[in-house]
């Protein structure tokens, strides 16, 4: 009886120590029913969402999200880097100098108003004699999109990403 109790305590502590939190790298990351890219999508997770790791397989991790839903995520869509609440500023540098751990700033251009060539870049290019055609070409490069469906098909056909081995 004593032995069983002892083992229970030891194993309890061990399991508590194993709980690992990871964060979603990018919005629209799929939480799926099984460790297969072809399985049902239970939810789409936002960038920075913390998830608790339940089980690790070769390319998928079973996780639970803050709302309690459990599912599987392609492991390279997760990071151990927590999103930062405030901007880095000089704190990063001071932190490094003082040996203090500070999480690097995460920035997202997809959700912000930052889009395309800034006026400074465009004016600089014009003054340097860069042609209107070249400026237009870079702008077109910036607006070129691939749809999520195209990307899904591309990965599936190539057996890449979550469709990989």
Partner 1 sequence: MKKNFTILALAVTSLIWVQSCRTVDSKSVGDFVDSVSKNFNDVVDDMQGRGEQSRQAHAEKNAPQKKESLGQEAGGGGLIGVAESLGIDRQTAKIAKSAVGLAQALQPIGLEEELTLGGSLALEVVHKFGGLYKNPALQNYVNLVGKSLADVSDRPEIDYHFAVLNTDHPNGFATPGGYVFVSIGLLRLLESEAQLAGVLGHEIAHITQKHALETLKRSKILSGMSSLTMSAMNKNEGMFNKVILEASNTLFTHGLDKDLEYEADKLGMEYAYRMGYKPSGLQEFIEILDKSSLGKTSIYFSTHPSFPDRLLGLGQLLPQYKGGDHYPVLAARYQSRVKEQLSKVNGQL
- With CB under 8 A as the contact rule, which of the stretches 38-46, 64-72, 153-161 interacts with partner 1? 153-161
How far apart (Å, rounded) are the C-alpha atoms in residues 104 and 106?
A: 6
- With CB under 8 A as the contact rule, which of the stretches 38-46, 64-72, 79-87 interacts with partner 1? 79-87
By the rule CB under 8 A, 161 interacts with partner 1: yes
Counting residues that bind partner 1 (by CB under 8 A) gives 78
- Nearest alpha carbon to residue 42 among 51, 52, 30: 30
DSSP-based helix, strand, coil % in the chain, nearest 5: 40, 20, 40
Instruction: Write the CB contacts of 122 (distance below 8 Å, at least 6 apart in sequence).
Output: 135
By the rule CB under 8 A, 138 interacts with partner 1: yes
The answer to whether the beta carbons of residues 31 and 43 sit under 8 Å apart is yes
By the rule CB under 8 A, 107 interacts with partner 1: yes
Give the residue with the Cβ less far from partner 1, 67 or 141. 141
By the rule CB under 8 A, 156 interacts with partner 1: no
By the rule CB under 8 A, 132 interacts with partner 1: no
By the rule CB under 8 A, 36 interacts with partner 1: no
The answer to whether the beta carbons of residues 103 and 85 sit under 8 Å apart is no
């Amino acid at each position: 009886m004593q032995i069983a109790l002892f083992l229970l305590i030891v194993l309890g502590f061990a399991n508590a120590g194993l709980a690992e939190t990871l964060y979603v790298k990018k919005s629209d990351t799929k939480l799926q029913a099984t460790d297969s890219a072809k399985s049902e999508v239970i939810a789409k997770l936002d960038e920075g969402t913390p998830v608790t790791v339940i089980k690790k397989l070769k390319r998928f991790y079973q996780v639970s999200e803050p709302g309690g839903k459990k599912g599987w995520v392609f492991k390279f869509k997760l990071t151990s880097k927590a999103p930062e609440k405030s901007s880095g500023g000089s704190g990063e540098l001071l932190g490094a100098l003082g040996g203090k751990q500070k999480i690097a700033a995460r920035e997202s251009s997809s959700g912000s108003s930052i889009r395309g060539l800034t006026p400074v870049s465009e004016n600089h290019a014009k003054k340097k004699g860069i042609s209107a055609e070249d400026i237009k070409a870079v702008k077109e490069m910036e607006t070129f999109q691939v749809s999520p469906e195209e990307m899904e098909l591309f990965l599936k056909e190539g057996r890449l990403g979550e469709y990989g081995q």
